[in-house]
């Protein structure tokens, strides 16, 4: 066969290959749906993610063990380390700014309150509130440790900041840390106030009972507080701590200390 004929066929084949539409891989579609579903859930509530921004959120949920898989040809996934660096500072700034503006706390006390953003505490909050990050973070060859979950959480905050701006990032952070922040306010810390009153008045044992309702992907906790075996208050919230806080609030109202 002549060289010119081979070259002509090669060019035609190349043109045909370029014209064939590329179909998204099923795994990519599943991942897109997973990330969109996570963002749509409270407390994020982000439902209109542009296709261009979706890769940003996907990167936030990708650990370096998944990005550096050592495959040939090389995988093109980016990990979340840069976003985690950014999100860490956004998270600390939002909480520090809120504490400074809303509470008259000395610097030492504000710094102690910022310890809530430590990795082990962040992972605990992610799991306790059922944010879904621990199940959505992509990794390879290791379980979702506290460090991996916390880093993905901070990276996601960084992605929200880049995509939606500081106001949206602030709303998300304050919603997630609502219960921890409430402990800074002696008036809103209903559990602490109830415990002090019951102990001071020697009213008996203070106990909380919990039950979970709602679907597994969006649980609701119900709490009942009893004093000396007598029910005094009930509450419902997305977390056990939130439900207990509302139950304590109702109890304080019933005893005239609300």
- Whether the predicted pLDDT of 204 surpasses 50: yes
Name the pLDDT band for 89 (thresholds 50, 70, 90): very high
Contact 192, 209 (CB under 8 A): no
Closest CA to 249 of 182, 174, 170, 199: 182
Helix, coil or strand: residue 204: coil
Residue-wise pLDDT tens digits, 236-254: 887 777 788 889 989 999 8
**pLDDT tens per residue, range 97-124:** 888 887 777 777 777 767 777 777 899 9
> What are the structural domains of the chain?
26-182 (1.10.1520.10), 190-254 (3.30.160.20)
Predicted confidence band at 6 (pLDDT cuts at 50, 70, 90)? very low
- Rounded CA separation 19/197 (Å): 76
**pLDDT tens digits, one per residue of 127-177:** 988 899 999 999 988 889 999 999 999 999 999 999 999 999 999 998 898
Contacts of 184 (CB under 8 A, 6+ apart): 99, 102, 103, 105, 113
Q: What average pLDDT score do residues 213-221 get?
A: 69
| Mean per-residue pLDDT over the chain, rounded | 82
Partners of 220 in the β-ladder: 213
Alpha helices, H only, 166-213 = 166-176, 178-182, 190-201
Q: Which residue has the higher pLDDT, 257 or 22?
A: 257
Distance CA 64, CA 97 (A): 31
């Amino acid at each position: 066969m002549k060289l010119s004929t081979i070259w002509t066929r090669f060019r035609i084949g190349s043109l045909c290959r370029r014209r064939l539409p590329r179909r998204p891989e099923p795994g990519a579609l599943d991942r897109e749906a997973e990330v969109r579903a996570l963002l749509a859930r409270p407390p994020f509530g982000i439902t209109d993610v542009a296709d261009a921004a979706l890769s940003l959120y996907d990167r936030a949920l990708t650990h370096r063990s998944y990005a550096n898989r050592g495959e040939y040809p090389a995988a093109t996934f980016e990990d979340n380390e840069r976003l985690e660096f950014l999100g860490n500072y956004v998270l600390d700034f939002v909480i520090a700014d809120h504490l400074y503006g809303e509470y008259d706390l000395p610097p030492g006390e504000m710094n102690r309150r910022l310890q809530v953003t430590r990795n082990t505490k962040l992972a605990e909050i992610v799991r306790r509130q059922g944010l879904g990050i621990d199940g959505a973070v992509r990794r390879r060859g290791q379980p979702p440790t506290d460090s991996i979950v916390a880093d993905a959480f901070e990276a996601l905050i960084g992605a929200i900041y880049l995509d939606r701006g500081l106001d949206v990032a602030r709303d998300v952070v304050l919603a997630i840390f609502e219960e921890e922040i409430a402990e800074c306010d002696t008036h809103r810390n209903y559990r602490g106030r109830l415990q002090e009153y019951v102990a001071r008045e020697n009213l008996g044992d203070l106990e909380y009972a919990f039950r979970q309702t709602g679907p597994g992907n969006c649980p609701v906790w119900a709490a009942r507080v009893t004093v000396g075996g007598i029910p005094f208050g009930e509450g419902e919230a997305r977390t056990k701590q939130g439900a207990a806080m509302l139950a304590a609030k109702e109890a304080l109202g019933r005893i005239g200390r609300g």
